[in-house]
Amino acid sequence: MKKTGSILASIALAASLLAGCSANGGKQDADGAIQIGLAAPISGTQAQYGEAFKNGAELAAKQVNDAGGIDGKKVKIVIQDDKGDPHEAVNVANKFVTDKDILAVVGHFNSSATLATAPIYNKNKIVEISPSSSAPAVTNAGEYTFRVITTDAFQAAYLADWSKELGYRKVALIYEQSDFGLGLLDVYKEAAPKNNIEIVAAESYNPGDKDFSTVLTKIKEKQPDAIFIGGFYNEAALIAQQAQKLGLKTDYIGVDSLYSEALLELGGDAVENMKLIGFFYPGGDNEEATKFAEAYQTAYNSKPDTYAAYAYVATSVVIEAIKHNGADREKIKEYLKTLHDYKGPTGVLSFDENGDVVTTPERLTIRNGAFELYQ
């Protein structure tokens, strides 16, 4: 009796396992979701940008799914954590390219990771579209590498022109020791002489550094008209605050990486009047930006930063490509090559022959603790 019982039990178990298998298999066939990879620093020192990526990309997918998906199929964002580390990014890229269901990859966050993974994506002929890697080197990373952010070269040159208009003669640079920061430094330095700007100091820091008192004490001696912060908003807020504590009074300029509510929150009155280039500015003339900001607010109960907006745009153009050209890796690339004047929250964009975005920035400043168009 006992024996029969155990045999029955094992048959039941086996049956349920088999049933489980077929149920899973069936499910996958039935919904056949359209899968887009998202490679983002979900953990590690850049985790907060990873979170912005995730929110932006998932919002784009959700909006399409709520509207019925693509030909009735849902869009699914498959997230892999690259920890913001180029080594880890390579592992992530290898995982994505070998998964045939992944049609394109949105990512990576930092330029170092994007550059490290570009050969893998290009060899396997799958689109890698970075929301945020702005290092000039990404231009030549391959024909499957796209980005929706302008190059640092473009932004730094634009900023040099603007610095001249603002009447700056002596500018100090504080830049991040990375492909990103060095890219900004090189271009700004080169553009400075023809704009009558003297670079009085160029000091670097490592991503994640918190103490800028040494650098700022050095810079204070040089009495610059402005400090160009070639880094991210967290460091920009720290720099402005620590400068205030050291009694250093100067202007600050920067690129779109500074655009975030966190800059205002962390920086307080120290970041007042900071001038920066922005592509994503809700509340201005760009209706898409305002709509996106509202949808984001509803979905996450917080204000989106630049990176959430870029991730949203990058995911949206991939979705557009699939809508128009079908769920095929190669055809997505073909579509992006011809994409022209796409209207999104970060402005009207097209891609040039290198996969670089072509768009016009806005000039922003901070007044009374809020971002405003600079006039």
Partner 1 sequence: MFLQQLVNGLTIGVIYALIALGYTMVYGILKMVNFAHGDIFMFGSFLGLFFMKHLHMPLYLAFLLSAAATSAIGVVIERVAYRPLRTADRIVPLISALGVSTFLVSLAQKLWGTEMHPFPTAFGRGTVTVGSITFSEIQILILVLSFILMLGLHLFVTRTKTGTAMRATSMSLTNAALMGINTNHMISLAFAIGSALAACAGIMVGIYYNAVYPTMGYMAGINAFTAAVLGGIGSIPGAMLGGILLGVVENLGGAYISTQYQSVISFTILIIVLMIRPTGILGKKDINKV
Residue 129 in the binding site for partner 1 (CB under 8 A): no
- Tokens linked to 83: 């920890």
Residue 48 in the binding site for partner 1 (CB under 8 A): yes
Q: How far is the CB of 261 from partner 1 (least distance, A)?
A: 10
Residue 217 in the binding site for partner 1 (CB under 8 A): yes
Size, binding site for partner 1 by CB under 8 A = 35
Q: Which of 31, 99, 161, 265 binds partner 1 (CB under 8 A)?
A: 265
Q: How far is the CB of 359 from partner 1 (least distance, A)?
A: 27
Residue 221 in the binding site for partner 1 (CB under 8 A): yes
Q: Which of 57, 120, 197, 262 binds partner 1 (CB under 8 A)?
A: 262
Binding segment (CB under 8 A) for partner 1, from list 22-30, 64-72, 180-188, 261-269: 261-269
Residue 158 in the binding site for partner 1 (CB under 8 A): no
Residue 330 in the binding site for partner 1 (CB under 8 A): no
Q: How far is the CB of 263 from partner 1 (least distance, A)?
A: 10
Q: How far is the CB of 141 from partner 1 (least distance, A)?
A: 26
Nearest to 36 by CA among 66, 68, 70: 70
Q: Which of 43, 124, 290, 365 binds partner 1 (CB under 8 A)?
A: 43
- Tokens linked to 225: 């008209």
CA atoms within 13 A on the CB side of 70: 20
Binding segment (CB under 8 A) for partner 1, from list 12-20, 141-149, 184-192, 206-214: 206-214
Residue 284 in the binding site for partner 1 (CB under 8 A): no
Shorter beta-carbon distance to partner 1: residue 48 or 122? 48
* One-letter amino acid for residue 103 of the chain: L
Q: How far is the CB of 268 from partner 1 (least distance, A)?
A: 7
| Residue 4, C-beta contacts closer than 8 angstroms, at least 6 positions apart | none
- Tokens linked to 315: 């995911």
Q: Which of 112, 163, 234, 306 binds partner 1 (CB under 8 A)?
A: 234
Shorter beta-carbon distance to partner 1: residue 160 or 215? 215
Q: How many CB atoms lie within 10 A of CB 190?
A: 13
Nearest to 281 by CA among 266, 261, 265, 300: 261
Residue 223 in the binding site for partner 1 (CB under 8 A): no
Kindly state the DSSP code that residue 206 receives in the 8-state scheme: -
Distance CA(117)–CA(139), nearest Å, equals 14
Q: Which of 6, 24, 196, 214 binds partner 1 (CB under 8 A)?
A: 214
Nearest to 260 by CA among 322, 303, 226: 303
Distance CA(223)–CA(272), nearest Å, equals 19
> What element of type H or E holds 40?
strand 34-40
Distance CA(168)–CA(231), nearest Å, equals 20
The Cα-based distances of 65 to 71, 74, 279 in angstroms read: 10, 6, 26
Q: Which of 44, 119, 142, 284 binds partner 1 (CB under 8 A)?
A: 44
CB 253 within 8 A of CB 274: yes
CB 80 within 8 A of CB 105: no
Q: How far is the CB of 70 from partner 1 (least distance, A)?
A: 31
Question: Coil, strand or helix: which one is 351?
Answer: strand
Residue 266 in the binding site for partner 1 (CB under 8 A): yes
Give the strand pairing for 75-81 and 34-40: parallel
Residue 112 in the binding site for partner 1 (CB under 8 A): no
Residue 242 in the binding site for partner 1 (CB under 8 A): yes
Chain centroid, CA 309 distance in Å? 8
Q: How far is the CB of 212 from partner 1 (least distance, A)?
A: 9
Interface residues toward partner 1, by CB under 8 A: 43-45, 47-48, 50-51, 177, 203-206, 208-211, 213-215, 217-218, 221, 234, 237-238, 241-242, 244-247, 262, 265-266, 268
